[in-house]
């Protein structure tokens, strides 16, 4: 089965199997030639009920920025910002990785200060 194509993407998304989705999204954004479709899939999965899926969708944004050199800031920046403050440590870590890629490849700015670290709390 070829990973590219709207039909395959829609079938995987409709099955909504978290185990499948968490691996598939990273494979898809790494191989798809359709930036808009890859971005749309990540946007959809960044709101998924499963933290591993959400985290990998965040990581996918960074891969898309690296591969294509662009993303729709109106769709993506707020999701990554939200991910940076998520309740799930995995989502936060992947959002941080994505934010670093988005800064490097797209010059987007994010507040990456670690407000919850003991060192930061001692100095505020």
Residue 55: give its domain's CATH number.
Answer: 1.25.40
Residue 28 lies in a domain: yes
8 A C-beta contact, residue 45 and residue 54: yes
For residue 98, give both structure tokens.
């994505």
Give the residue numbers spanning the domain of 85. 6-122
Residue 60 lies in a domain: yes
Residue 67 lies in a domain: yes
Question: Sorting pLDDT into bands at 50, 70 and 90, what band is 113?
Answer: confident
Name the percent of the chain lying above pLDDT 90: 82
∠ at Cα 23 (22, 26), nearest 5°? 95
Does the structure show a pLDDT above 70 at 40?
A: yes
- pLDDT tens figures, 12-31: 999 999 999 999 999 999 99
The pLDDT value given to residue 83: 97
| Nearest alpha-carbon partner for 12 in 33, 40, 35 | 40
| Nearest alpha-carbon partner for 8 in 24, 23, 22 | 24
Residue 1 lies in a domain: no
Number of domains in the chain: 1
Residue 47 lies in a domain: yes
Residues 6+ positions from 81 with CB-CB distance below 8 Å: 110
- pLDDT tens figures, 82-97: 999 999 999 999 999 9
């Amino acid at each position: 089965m070829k990973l590219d194509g709207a039909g395959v993407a829609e079938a995987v998304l409709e099955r909504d199997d978290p185990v499948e989705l968490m691996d598939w999204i990273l494979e898809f954004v790494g191989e798809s030639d359709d930036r808009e479709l890859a971005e749309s899939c990540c946007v959809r999965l960044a709101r998924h009920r499963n933290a591993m899926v959400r985290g990998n969708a965040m990581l996918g944004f960074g891969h898309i920025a690296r591969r294509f050199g662009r993303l729709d800031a109106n769709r993506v920046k707020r999701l990554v910002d939200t991910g940076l403050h998520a309740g799930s440590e995995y989502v936060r870590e992947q959002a941080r990785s994505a934010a670093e890629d988005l800064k490097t490849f797209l010059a987007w700015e994010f507040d990456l200060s670690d407000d919850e670290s003991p060192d930061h709390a001692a100095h505020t």
